[in-house]
A and B are shown apart, each in its own frame.
Chain A
Amino acid sequence: MDDTATQKTFQAEIYAEPMPPRERVPRWVKALVRNPVSIAGTLLVIFFIVLAILAPVLAPPPIPSLPYQIPRDGFEAEPKPPGPGEPLGTTQGQYDIYYGIIWGTRTAFKIGLIVTGVTVLIGGTLGAVSGYVGGWVDDVIQRIVEVFLAFPFLLAALTLATILGGKIQNGLITGMIALIAFGWPTYARLIRGDVLSVKEREYVLAAKALGEPGWRILMRHVVPNAMYSLLVVASLDVGTYVLTFAALSFLGLGAGVGYADWGQLLSFARNWIPTLNSYWWIVVYPGLALLLFVLAFNLIGDAFRDALDPKMGGFRG
């Protein structure tokens, strides 16, 4: 048998080797499914997903081509209490709060998913390369990560959004860029640690011995096995990104006036603080939507953390 043939057989043997036997359902998944905290979180997330999908039914847009524009019932400044036509009342400028909350759910998912997706892509790539290549590449990337992490996240995002604001008129995009620019370092650091441990495993050494090119080993063997905790952490960060974006909108930098976004709806309340008790609905309803959305992801995240923490010994009962 010549060399290539030996290699082929060897390769076939490696790839044909069945996965090591493992529990069909890991213990922490069981713990998670049984935990009331994570169930509550999951139900809330499902509720918001349904809300986002059914938005055109629940709140039909008066101008179908501009669904994110909140309809106005007149132009007076003073907010109107909940009543027929506007079940949750109107805020300053007669923007319909109910409509804003329903379509704001879509905005929240859009922001959360896009920001998380791009952040994971950038952070994951840089972190994986950093950990896999090592040496000076690792040093340089890690120092850059450190510098980015040296800024308080909201203040950093605020700064970048301000600078970009002069160039890009769309506040939605500037806000997202700002969040992505300062969000990736956490993920780069996270996946780097996992890559460092995965790259020492036998199957990676075997692939190296077979002479597979470095990028191929990284993409096919290392990253798929190291991105697990990154994906878990990132998917739970959706709530945090939505929260920070809402804060930017609240300060007047994210979504524009009249755009269906919870932070933007809440920003009107700043003008009514001395008499806020007579206009409670302009804070309570959009605030509740935002709180529940963030809470949903944090509830699942909290359960995850406990379930995955060996020190806590999973959940009782």
Chain B
Amino acid sequence: MINYIVRRLFILPLVLFGLSILIFGMLMALNPIERAALYITSIPRNPEAIQAVIDKYGLNKPIYVQYWNWLDKVFHGDLGWSKTAGMPVVQAIKTYFPATLELALWSFIPIIVIGTWLGIQAAIHHDQFIDQAARVFSIVGYSFPTFVFGLLVLMIFYANLRWFPPGRLSDWASAIVYSPAFHQYTGMNTVDALLNLRLDIFVDALRHLFLPALTLSYVSWALILRVARSSMLEVIQQDYIRAARAKGAPERRVINHHARPNAMIPVATIGGLLLVGLLNGVVITETVFNYHGMGLFAATAALNFDAVSILGVALLAGVLLVFANLVVDVLYSYLDPRIRLK
């Protein structure tokens, strides 16, 4: 076990190095003037001043020198100036990340709960109506373009029924949240509202979160459902389940007590994939719902050809994913001893 973790940790710097090379490589595809945004907040208009900036920051030095300079800045928490947000990229990410985290957390719970429940029901009723229905639901789910789904729910629940508005907060609520009386502990509105004992703001934040969380999770239910179903199908064919049935254990107990814990192993370890889905999903979902988080920041930056900002987000997403995969692998080998022995 320890051996396995050590081996995985050994590869980690290698992958992170590759990641930095890839990001830096994309950065180098920009011309020196565009890359100046890494160092200064506004690019001067006259050509000599531009040249002075290029010379000063060594933007036409050999590639390995530039790579080193860049890496040095990254390690010191400097990813350049974001013209989209009008602040340093790192600060912009700090501002927007809690919003995205909040959305992801609120999507995560229904994904796991509903996804596994549906998957297990489908497996227990293999090839019966529930299984077929769950299957259609799941295929349609992962075929549904996130933005079409988002626009449709907005059409029904906002434009028509006025139940769930887009954005993050209503005007009255954001006036309170951004006033000095309200202490922002985490940047996540639902959590902060509870900590400030403002139930009205909590409800308002939840109303704004409902549709984007639904949109973000709908596509991922399909994934969890599928994994839970096939893993459960495999488990209930095992000998020890037959043994449990043979000794007369009630079916309910066989499913809940003997089969489900083992069937949950692949579900528990699918976190890495789920995170990819969520990170992809937030770009579209936050854009459709005008929800000010990292995804919308990335999409807006893309439209402004603000490469420095979007590369910052990509770097963060890449690093997050690498660590998530590490955790998932270790968790997997912990939950399923067979993996370790290989």
Contacts and interface: CB of A to CB of B under 8 A. Distances in A.
B322 A290 contact: no
A155 B142 CA distance: 18
B284 A143 contact: no
A109 interface: no
Nearest to B294: A155
A302 B127 CA distance: 15
B58 interface: no
Interface string A272-302: 0111111010011001001100110011001
Contact of B314 (A151, A250, A294, A312): A151
A316 interface: yes
B330 interface: no
A247 B143 contact: no
B26 A150 contact: no
Interface of B: 14-15, 18-19, 21-22, 26, 29-30, 34, 127, 135, 139-140, 142-148, 151-152, 154-156, 158-160, 166, 230, 233-234, 276, 279-280, 283-284, 287-288, 290, 298-299, 301-303, 305-307, 310-311, 313-314, 317-318, 321-322, 325
Given A152-B279, A311-B233, 17 more contacts: A37-B139, A146-B18, A147-B21, A148-B22, A151-B321, A155-B283, A243-B145, A247-B283, A251-B283, A251-B287, A251-B299, A270-B151, A273-B166, A276-B151, A277-B160, A284-B152, A291-B145
A290 B145 contact: yes
Contacts of A274: 158-159
B18 A252 contact: no
22 contacts: A147-B19, A147-B21, A150-B321, A151-B22, A151-B318, A151-B321, A152-B276, A153-B276, A153-B280, A156-B314, A158-B298, A161-B302, A166-B34, A243-B143, A247-B145, A250-B287, A251-B287, A252-B303, A276-B159, A283-B152, A287-B151, A312-B230
B322 A158 contact: no
Given A246-B145, A302-B139, A155 B279 contact: yes
Contact of A294 (B143, B303, B313): B143
A188 interface: no
A235 to B, nearest CB: 16
- Most chain A CB neighbours (cut-off 10 Å) among B148, B301, B302, B311: B148
Contacts of A154: 280, 283-284
A88 interface: no
Contact of A143 (B18, B29, B140, B314): B18
B143 A143 contact: no
Interface in A156-203: 156, 158-167
- Most chain A CB neighbours (cut-off 10 Å) among B143, B290, B302: B143
Contacts of A302: 135, 139
Contact of B159 (A243, A275, A284, A312): A275
The bracket for how many chain A residues form the interface is 35 or more
A166 B305 contact: yes
A295 B15 contact: no
- Most chain B CB neighbours (cut-off 10 Å) among A154, A164, A283: A154
Contact of A273 (B142, B154, B230): B154
Contact of A158 (B14, B143, B155, B302): B302
Contacts of A239: 143
- Most chain B CB neighbours (cut-off 10 Å) among A37, A155, A158, A251: A155
A266 interface: yes
B143 A155 contact: no
Nearest to B165: A274
Contact of A250 (B140, B147, B160): B147
B158 A273 contact: yes
A261 B177 CA distance: 41
A112 to B, nearest CB: 14
A59 interface: no
A316 B314 contact: no
Interface in A221-257: 239, 243, 246-247, 250-253
Contact of A155 (B139, B144, B152, B314): B314
- Most chain A CB neighbours (cut-off 10 Å) among B34, B166, B321: B321
A317 to B, nearest CB: 9
Contacts of B166: 273
B302 A299 contact: no
Nearest to B17: A147
Nearest to A244: B280
- Most chain A CB neighbours (cut-off 10 Å) among B14, B284, B302: B302
Contacts of A298: 139, 142-143
Contacts of B313: 155, 159
A163 B15 contact: no
Contacts of B307: 159, 162-163, 166
Nearest to A144: B18
- Most chain B CB neighbours (cut-off 10 Å) among A162, A287, A302: A162
Contact of A312 (B145, B152, B233, B306): B233
Contact of B318 (A150, A161, A269, A291): A150
Given A147-B22, A275-B159, A162 B305 contact: yes
A287 B148 contact: yes
A146 B15 contact: yes
The 6 closest A-B pairs by CB, nearest first: A147-B18, A287-B148, A276-B155, A277-B159, A295-B143, A276-B159
Contacts of B299: 158, 251
Contacts of B298: 155, 158
B147 A247 contact: yes
